Amino acid sequence: MMQTLFRTFLFCCFFVSLTATAAPNLLLSNTTDPATSAAGQAVNAAYDYKDSLDRDTPRGTLKGFLEAVYEQDYTKAAKYLDLRYMPKGMSASNGEEYARKLHAIIERNLWINLQDIDDSPAGDLDDLLPDYRESFGNITVKNAEVSLLLQQVPSKKLGKIWKISNATVALVPSLYEELGYSPLTEWFIQNVPDGYIFKLSLWEIVFLFTCLFASFAVVTPVCLITAWLVRKTDIKMKEDLAGLIAKPLLFFTALGLDHLLLSSATLTANARAFLNNGYLLFGTSLWLGWSAIGLFQYIIRERLINNGNKQGAAMVRPFLTFIRIILLIFAVLSWMEYQGFNATALLAGMGVGGVALALASKQTLENFIGTMMLYSAAPVKVGNLCNFGGIRGTVEEIGLRCTRIRTIDRTVIHVPNAKLSEMEIENISMREKIRFKSDIRLDYGTSTTQLKQIIEEIKLLLENHDKVDKKPLRVTFRGFGAHGLEINVFAYIGTKSLPVYQVAAQEIHLGIMEIVEKQGSRIVPATFDAQLLS
């Protein structure tokens, strides 16, 4: 059950990691707080773009450029670049190439929130830049910061429009050489069809899956062969160890190799955000840690059993299950803190919900407390034969919630620990010897001499039996019963084993019958036909 729930949790992490890739791209154009959003809507509603490409304002220009390159219409995107006065070696005829490379630079190194870009024809007059210029981002190259700029240029129809500055365009070749894509990435860009899924380029998706497939192709044979070799050994835990190698360790190693490959690759900011979210690696790490604790549990349990400590072996599973839960909670909170959530505030909120949860899980808490009492007081241990109320059986396992009991009929009963801790428990296995008690009835035709001789010989029989304790040992004439002369036999058989006791009791009963027959008397039942005595 726990493995099923854990695998379901990993699947959810995988699904979230896929769908989360769309979220960073939304930041490119739409992410903002409510107040900024309302202000931006007000500005957009008030200003009516006159230019067919919306280049009236800095925001309109940048928005139009990003939309064009997103649609991979680099001819249109080039119209947003100021290609005048290009330096030597650059030409306005290569505007499409400059637009594509600038797009790659932005994708790999910059997050742009369009709501932060001014949407008035005059631009932001308080940004400490000349009135005709507007910055839309800064990137670092060789420890130096480079500003990406928009600037106003002359327009025959509108007088002035905004374009990406020719100073910025002039830097595109050198910036692309430092910050652009590697030859391998360029190959994927050129050979994979254009398009987007969840606003992630198709070539990026193919590249990511290619690296993932390559990682699994390398790691899978190694792990499977290692698991096969482990199964060929004679160690007791070979199946558990082989399972850990062939499943969680395989996935963890493959994902680690995949991250190592992708860390040296040139990817967009969106793809890097997908890799850095840690969903898959976090889930696989939990799976590996969970399985490793299970293997550790097996090793400790076997060692304790081999040392004869069955009670300690029984405590291993619930204790390590508790440790697993604590580590899982700690890992989830740490990961949430890494993702930017306030784990402290979350814990504070959980404190209120914890009260409601405690009330709802009252029975579970009672069982847990009952488990602690059973382990601390130790009235029963694994392997003990006990009477639990009207149930007799052998304790097989003391879990966190309930205790498993195997009855004499070989059926299994699970008793909640809260209920078990309140029961009157007779621990049969804790007795050091077993009582032998028998009442013998002789018919009234038995003489006094015969009675005395029978008592002495029965006592001598018990004293000479190697399984009977010498003290206490009593064979006495109880008196005149309703059905005969009553002799009481009381002694202890010096064994804990019920089969050994049964053999010894049989030998004593047969010996008593021989003594009675030899003395000429007879044993009568508790109820009988009175004519038998006539």
Model confidence pLDDT, tens digit, residues 212-228: 899 999 999 999 999 99
Predicted confidence (pLDDT) at residue 404 exceeds the cutoff of 80: yes
Predicted pLDDT at 216: 93
Per-residue pLDDT reduced to its tens digit, 135-152: 998 888 888 889 999 999
pTM above 0.85, yes or no: no
What average pLDDT does range 91-119 have in this prediction? Answer: 87
pLDDT digits (tens, 9 = 90+) for 448-489: 999 999 999 999 999 999 889 888 899 999 888 888 899 999
pLDDT of 78 above 90: yes
Greater pLDDT, 427 or 11: 427
Give 260-308 pLDDT, tens digit per residue.
887 767 777 667 666 666 677 778 888 888 888 888 888 887 887 777 7
pLDDT digits (tens, 9 = 90+) for 314-332: 667 777 777 888 888 777 7
What percent of the chain has pLDDT above 90? Answer: 25
Cα–Cα distances (Å) from 489 to 84, 456, 457, in that order, read 122, 12, 12
CA torsion, points 81, 82, 88, 92, in degrees to nearest 10? 60
Residue 33, pLDDT above cutoff 80: no
Q: Of 59, 91, 63, 57, which Cα lies nearest the Cα of 77?
A: 63
Percent of the chain with pLDDT over 70: 78
pLDDT of 534 above 50: no
- pLDDT tier at 21, thresholds 50, 70, 90: very low
412-441: average pLDDT: 86
**Which pLDDT tens digit goes with each residue over 354-387?**
555 555 555 666 666 666 666 655 678 888 889 8
Which tens digit of pLDDT belongs to each residue from 187-212?
887 888 877 777 677 888 888 889 88
Confidence band of 38 (pLDDT split at 50, 70, 90): very low
Give the pLDDT band of residue 406 (cuts 50, 70, 90). Answer: very high
| Alpha carbons 481 and 444: distance in angstroms, whole number | 10
Is the model's pLDDT at 339 over the cut of 70?
no
Task: Give the pLDDT band of residue 15 (cuts 50, 70, 90).
Answer: very low
Residue 79 has pLDDT above 90, yes or no: yes
List the one residue out of 134, 155, 133, 135 whose CA is nearest residue 145: 135
Q: Which residues, in sequence order, are CB contacts of 491 under 8 Å at separation 6+?
A: 435, 436, 462, 468, 469, 472, 473, 474
Which CATH topology does 377-430 take? SH3 type barrels. (2.30.30)
pLDDT recorded at residue 227: 92
Same CATH fold assignment for domains 377-430 and 434-519: no
Q: Read off the DSSP letter of residue 116.
A: G
* Residue 247 CB burial class (10 angstroms; 0-12, 13-18, ≥19): middle
Cα–Cα–Cα angle for 112, 87, 89, rounded to 5 degrees: 105
Residues 6+ apart with CB under 8 A from 188: 203, 204, 206, 207, 210
Name the region of 68 (left: φ>0; alpha: ψ -120 to 50; beta: rest): alpha
Q: How far apart are CA 333 and CA 407, in angstroms?
A: 44
Lowest mean pLDDT among 61-65, 231-235, 273-277, 361-365: 361-365
pLDDT of residue 122: 87
What mean pLDDT, rounded, does the chain reach?
Answer: 79
SS3 89: coil
Q: Is the pLDDT of residue 28 over 70?
A: no
For 425-467, where are the E strands, in sequence order? 425-427, 434-442
The tokens for 175 are 């910036």
For domain 434-519, the CATH class is alpha beta
Separation of alpha carbons 485 and 77, rounded Å:
120
Q: Which residue has the higher pLDDT, 160 or 347?
A: 160
Q: Average of pLDDT values for 49-61?
A: 90
Domain ranges, ordered by start, for the chain: 58-180, 200-350, 377-430, 434-519
Bridge partners for 23 per DSSP = none
pLDDT at 148: 92
